């Protein structure tokens, strides 16, 4: 049945399905900027919702600078977190779908295509429960033409006689996120652009009106829905390609005597190139880059564009090779073996200012070192021991508070340390490996640390954050990524 549509849909209630890294912060900022809109963030994960409702804001499920302050201001007023999915959809004028879309592990497109089972499940949930006219917004990163799947499910519900008791109609919009973890709140507050793809201008205007409360109109871009979906994949692919490019050059710098930081500064000063994403490191990580590139590869293969697919797949291959290269360098520098040697790993998150470890280079590098028989002690200021255990899929040894706890242990084990200030974790260590650029690692007292280590002791700096003179003057050998003049 047709429902008469007014020229502009007024949005009083928003429901966001998915309380993860995108849904939580995005809805928090919208709530902060639009106090007249009631926002319900729903998720079937009861533990996650309980964490969002914690009185102790240090226990929120996501660490992002500035997020806790917004939650304090808005939660319980116009921002709510619950497991009441059906109930909140019924009240919503607009529903955001912000659920995980991992790479498929089996079946058609395994290893490259996105698994859309949660997106489909959300669409069916909306179809069953929506009342009146509902604008459905794709917030998850999705392959091109996913909106067709969502629209087909919603249209079936709209035309179903079972829904006559609560007449329903739908519009579908694409509104991809462009957030960098660690700066997500700033990215939401001051975005480079907000992209809205759709077919119905009135629906587009309704979402645009929300963002225009704090985003300049000239930064709100409107496209067709397919361009919006592809733009998200392409943006992440381009950024990842820059990281793989500079990391490949870092290997060349080490071989030729150049310095990758000097090379990056020189090419970054070219305004045609720019300086962003030219910092060499242990490889890109996070929830999107690898997944989105592989999705792009799958799409190119699907449409018979094999050369395009090969180009983008090489970006992922370079990233994997680079991580393996770093672990191999560590082994070679430590006289060809790390078996039963204690190595201190500083940083496990894929980047600073986040507790996210998804696709972190630290996972691969640590696994490689463990396979070589190393004994690792791992520190990260925001990543928990349970998360590290889940990522490594290896049980840690129990923390004994004993500097000799590794000496008589079996090879290939790891231990978690919550603290580094007392320097005890460096006792009897052969090397320190810096994998995340946390600020506290920049201020380490190397003259004190070297006294606790086994000589000749090494520092492997994959993030270029240490003062090279201080490290070497302390008597430590230093390898720095992309430094052709390293020890």
Residues noted as catalytic = 288
For residue 339, what are its two tokens?
Answer: 């078996």
Q: What angle do CA 230, 236, 239 make, to 5 degrees?
A: 135
Q: Which distant-in-sequence residues (6+ apart) come within 8 Å of 306 by Cβ?
A: 300
Strand (E) or helix (H) holding 170: strand 168-174
Closest CA to 431 of 314, 358, 341, 320: 341
Burial class (CB in 10 A: 0-12, 13-18, 19+), 430: buried
Whole-angstrom distance, CA of residue 34 vs CA of residue 271: 37
For residue 399, what are its two tokens?
Answer: 């923390």
**Could you give the 3-state DSSP secondary structure of residue 38?**
strand
For residue 428, is the peptide bond before it cis, meaning its omega torsion is within 30 degrees of 0?
A: no
Whole-angstrom distance, CA of residue 313 vs CA of residue 297: 6
Q: Cα-flanking dihedrals φ and ψ of residue 73, to 5°? A: -75, -35
The CA-atom distances, in angstroms, between 5 and each of 12, 133, 363, 396 are 16, 8, 52, 59
């Amino acid at each position: 049945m047709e429902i008469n549509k007014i020229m502009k849909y007024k949005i009083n209630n928003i429901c966001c399905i998915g309380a993860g890294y995108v849904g939580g912060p995005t809805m928090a900022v919208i709530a902060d900027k639009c106090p007249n809109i009631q926002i319900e963030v729903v998720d079937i994960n009861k533990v996650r919702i309980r964490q969002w409702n914690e009185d102790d804001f240090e226990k929120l499920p996501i660490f992002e600078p500035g997020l806790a302050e917004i939650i304090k201001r808005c939660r319980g007023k116009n921002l709510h977190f619950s497991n009441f999915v059906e109930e909140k959809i019924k009240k919503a004028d607009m529903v955001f779908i912000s659920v995980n879309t991992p790479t498929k592990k089996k079946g058609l497109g395994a290893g490259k295509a996105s698994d859309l089972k949660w997106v489909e499940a959300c669409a069916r949930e909306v179809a069953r429960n929506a009342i009146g006219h509902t604008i459905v917004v794709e917030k998850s990163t999705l392959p091109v033409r996913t909106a067709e799947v969502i629209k087909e499910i919603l249209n079936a519900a709209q035309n179903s006689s079972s829904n006559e008791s609560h007449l329903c109609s739908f519009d579908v919009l694409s509104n991809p996120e462009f957030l960098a973890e660690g700066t997500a709140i700033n990215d939401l507050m001051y975005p480079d652009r907000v992209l809205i793809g759709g077919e119905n201008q009135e629906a587009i205007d309704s979402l645009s009106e929300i963002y225009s409360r704090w985003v300049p109109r000239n930064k709100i871009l409107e496209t067709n829905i397919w361009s919006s979906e592809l733009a998200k994949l392409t943006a992440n692919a381009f950024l990842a390609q820059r990281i793989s490019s500079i990391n490949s050059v870092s290997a060349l710098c080490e071989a030729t005597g150049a310095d990758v930081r000097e090379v990056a500064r020189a090419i970054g000063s070219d305004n045609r190139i720019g300086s962003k994403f030219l910092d060499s490191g242990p490889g890109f990580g996070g929830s999107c880059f690898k997944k989105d590139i592989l999705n792009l590869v799958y799409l190119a293969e699907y449409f018979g564009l094999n050369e395009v697919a090969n180009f983008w797949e090489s970006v992922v291959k370079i990233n994997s090779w680079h991580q393996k290269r770093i672990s191999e360098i560590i082994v070679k520098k430590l006289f060809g073996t790390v078996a039963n040697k204690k190595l201190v790993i500083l940083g496990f998150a894929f980047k600073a200012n986040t507790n996210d470890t998804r696709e972190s280079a630290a996972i691969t590098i640590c696994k490689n070192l463990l396979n070589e028989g190393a004994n690792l002690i791992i520190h990260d200021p925001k990543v928990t021991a349970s998360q590290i255990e889940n990522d490594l899929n290896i049980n840690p040894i129990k923390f004994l508070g004993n500097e000799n706890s590794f000496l008589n242990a079996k090879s290939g084990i790891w231990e978690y340390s919550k603290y580094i200030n007392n320097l005890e974790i460096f006792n009897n260590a052969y090397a320190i490996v810096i994998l995340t650029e946390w600020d506290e690692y920049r201020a380490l007292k190397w003259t004190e640390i070297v006294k606790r280590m086994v000589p000749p002791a090494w520092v492997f700096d994959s993030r270029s954050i240490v003062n090279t003179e201080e490290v070497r003057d302390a008597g430590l050998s230093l390898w720095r990524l992309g430094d052709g003049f390293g020890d």
